[in-house]
Amino acid sequence: MKILELSSLNDINILPATIKGTERKHVIKFNPSLARLEGNIFVLTYRVFVASAESRKPGFTPTSNSHSGTPWGSEWDSDYDGTGVAFLRYDQPSRNFFVVQDSILPVMDNVVESRICNDGQGILLSYYAFQDTCKFISQDRSSSVELCGNKSRACEFKYVTRINFQKEKNGISYSVLKPFIVCPSQNTYIKESSGIFKLNSKFYFQDDMMSWSFLEYKHKNKCTILHPENSVYFYKLSTWYDGSVKFHPSTPLVPYSDGELLGVGYAQMDFWRIAELIEQQTLRNTKYFEEGGDVAQLTAQSKPDNTKPIHMEEYAQSGAADFMRDIQSLFNLPDFKDVSEWSKYKEGHLHHRHFNFMFFYTVDPLNLQLQRFSFCFYPRPPSSTISTYVIPCGVELVETNVIAVSYGSSHTTSNIMLMNRAEVNKKLKYTPTDNPHLNQYPFMYTNH
C-alpha cells in the first residue's frame, strides 16, 4: 500500500489553484474523485471549500473541536463551496501521480461531492447541488414535477453531466455541458455520495447499500429501481447494531476481473450510540429480521413485530466495541460515559459524533448482486495526521495489477491510495454466503 497526499492542512498543497482574491491557505480541498482521461493522464475532481469570513473570526465556536477555516471549524458556513478540476500524470516506475494542471472555475460553485467515471466516450460527472425551488420542469419541458414535498429547506438533487476536454498549447481546457437531474419523478433524494457507472450501454447509480438498490437510467427523467437478490449482509449488520452503523455506496463501479465490478463504499458509525449499546444492560433491536427476507421490503421504515433481544455482552465483544477501545487508547480518551466529549480532546482528528470507514466490495455485472466484500478500515497516511473520518470518492485500475482509490479525510485532505491486486483481494475475504457473524465483523486501522 502506498498513500499519496495531494492537499492537507500540513502544508501539503501540490494542488496549487486558488480562487481569485483568496489566499491558498484558506482554500480547503478534499474528497477527490479520480478517473482516467486517456493513457497516463487522469482527471481529478475535488470539493473546494472556503469558510465564511464571519466563521474565521476569533470567538467563533463550532460543534467539533476543529481547525478554524475548515468545514467542521466553520459549521459549513462558506463563501465558496464547489468543485475544482485537476489533471494528473501517472508515472508507472515510481507509482506516483504528478499534477499537470489545476483550476477552480466560478461556474463550479454549488457543485459538490462530485464523482467521475470514464464511460468510454469521455468523462461523466455526477454531483450534488441545492435548489431554492422544489419544482422541476421535466427534460422535455412538457410538465412540472413537484419534488421534496413541503420541506422548508432548499431542495437537494443529484445531477449528471459530461465534461468536454480539449488539448491546447498552454494545457488542457474543459467545459461542462448542461446537467440534468437524476430520476426526479422516481426519487426525490439520492445519496450524495453515490457514483454513476455505465454497464452494457446503460447508466446506473447504486442508490442504497443496505437495501442493495440500483437506479437504471432510462431516458429523460425516468428510472427503474432494481433490487438484486442475496445481497443483504450490510442491512443485517446495520440492524444488529440498531442502526448505529450504516453503509453507503461512494464510488463508481469499475471493471475489476472476469465477472466482477469493484467499488469502494463507506460505513458511518455513530460512536455515541455504540457507547450506549455497550453500556446498557439489554436492548431490543427493533429492525431485526430473519435471513431470507424479501430485499425489496428492507427499508429504513421496516420494523417487524418479531424482535430479538440483544445483550450487553454481545455488543461489548463486537468489532465496533473493539475499535472503540482501540481509539480510546490511541487518543487517550475518557470513558465511554463521556463519549460526547471525545472530539474536544483531538482537534480536527475526531468528528463530534461519527467515525467513517472505507471498504471494498465487488458486484456481478450480470445481475448486480454482491459478490465479495472486505472489512471496514482506515488507511494510515505517511504524515502524522490520523483521521477517523474518510470518504472514498473514486477508484481506477491505473495498471493491470494496481488499483488507485482517491479519498478525503476529515473534510480537509485529498489523498490517493495505491494497492496492488493481491492486497485488495486479501481484503475481499467475505462473501454473502461465507461472512463473519454480525458481532465479529471487524473495523480497524491498517497499513497493508
pLDDT-based confidence at residue 284 (cuts at 50, 70, 90):
very low
The model's confidence at residue 203, banded by pLDDT at 50, 70 and 90, is: confident
Label residue 185 by pLDDT band (50, 70, 90): low
Average pLDDT taken over every residue of the chain: 81
Mean pLDDT of 34-56: 92
The SS3 assignment for 119 reads coil
DSSP 238-255: HHHTTTSEEEE--S--EE
Only one residue has cell 494497492, namely 419
pLDDT band at 190 (very low <50, low <70, confident <90, very high): low
Contact between residue 288 and residue 241 where contact means Cβ atoms under 8 Å apart: no
CA–CA separation, 412 and 29 (whole Å): 6
Instruction: Give me the phi and psi of 71, to 5 degrees please.
Output: -55, -45
Q: What is the pLDDT of residues 422-434, one digit of tens each?
A: 999 999 999 988 8
Question: How far from 380 is each of 287, 326, 359, 442, CA to CA, in Å?
Answer: 34, 15, 14, 17
Q: What is the pLDDT of residue 219?
A: 66
For residue 294, is pLDDT > 60?
A: no
pLDDT at position 186, please?
Answer: 58
Whole-number Å distance between alpha carbons of 94 and 381: 18
Q: What is the DSSP letter of 352?
A: S
Residues 6+ apart with CB under 8 A from 419: 1, 2, 402, 403, 405
As beta bridge partners, residue 89 has: 41, 98
The residue among 331, 266, 319 whose CA lies nearest residue 436 is: 319
DSSP summary character for residue 389 = B
pLDDT of residue 305: 41
Contact present, 16 and 431 (Cβ < 8 Å): no
Q: Is 274 helix (H, G, I), strand (E, B) or coil?
A: helix
pLDDT over threshold 60, residue 17: yes
Hey, which bits of 123-179 come out as E strands?
123-131, 135-137, 144-146, 155-168, 171-176
Residue 258: how many other CB atoms lie within 10 Å: 6
Share of the chain above pLDDT 70, in %: 80
SS3 state at 305: coil
Q: What is the pLDDT of residue 64?
A: 64
Asked whether the predicted pLDDT for residue 354 surpasses 80, the reply is: yes
On the question of pLDDT at 141 being above 50, the answer is no
Mean pLDDT confidence for 183-212: 75
DSSP calls for 76-93:
T-EEEEEEEEEEEEEETT
Contacts of 313 (CB under 8 A, 6+ apart): none
In 3D space, the residue among 383, 376, 374, 393 whose CA is nearest the CA of residue 445 turns out to be 376
CB contact at 8 A, 103 and 112: no
SS3 content of the chain, % helix, strand, coil (to 5): 15, 45, 40
Angle, alpha carbons 115-117-119 (nearest 5°) = 145
Res 298 pLDDT > 50: no
pLDDT score for 24: 87
pLDDT at 247 over 70: yes
Per-residue pLDDT tens over the stretch 48-90: 999 988 888 877 776 666 777 888 888 888 888 989 999 999 9
Q: Determine the Cα–Cα distance for residues 196 and 171; give it in Å rounded to an integer.
A: 27
Contact 238, 246 (CB under 8 A): yes
Q: Which of 91, 86, 96 is nearest to 27 (CA)?
A: 86
| pLDDT of 224 strictly over 50 | yes
pLDDT band per the 50, 70, 90 thresholds, residue 362:
very high
Task: Check pLDDT > 90 for residue 162.
Answer: no
Asked whether 101 and 17 are in contact (CB, 8 A), the reply is no
At 303-324, the pLDDT tens digits run 444 445 555 678 888 999 999 9
Q: Has residue 148 got a pLDDT over 60?
A: no
The identity of residue 275, as a single letter, is A
Q: What share of the chain in percent tops pLDDT 90?
A: 37
For each of the domains in the chain, give its residue range(s) and CATH number, in order of start. 2-446 (2.115.10.20)
pLDDT at 166 over 90: no
- Residue 153 CB partners (closer than 8 Å, separation 6+): none
pLDDT over threshold 50, residue 112: yes
Which residues touch 376 (CB under 8 Å, ≥6 apart)? 267, 357, 358, 359, 441, 442, 443, 444
pLDDT, tens digit, for every residue of 368-385? 999 999 999 988 766 656
Span 130-151, average pLDDT: 45
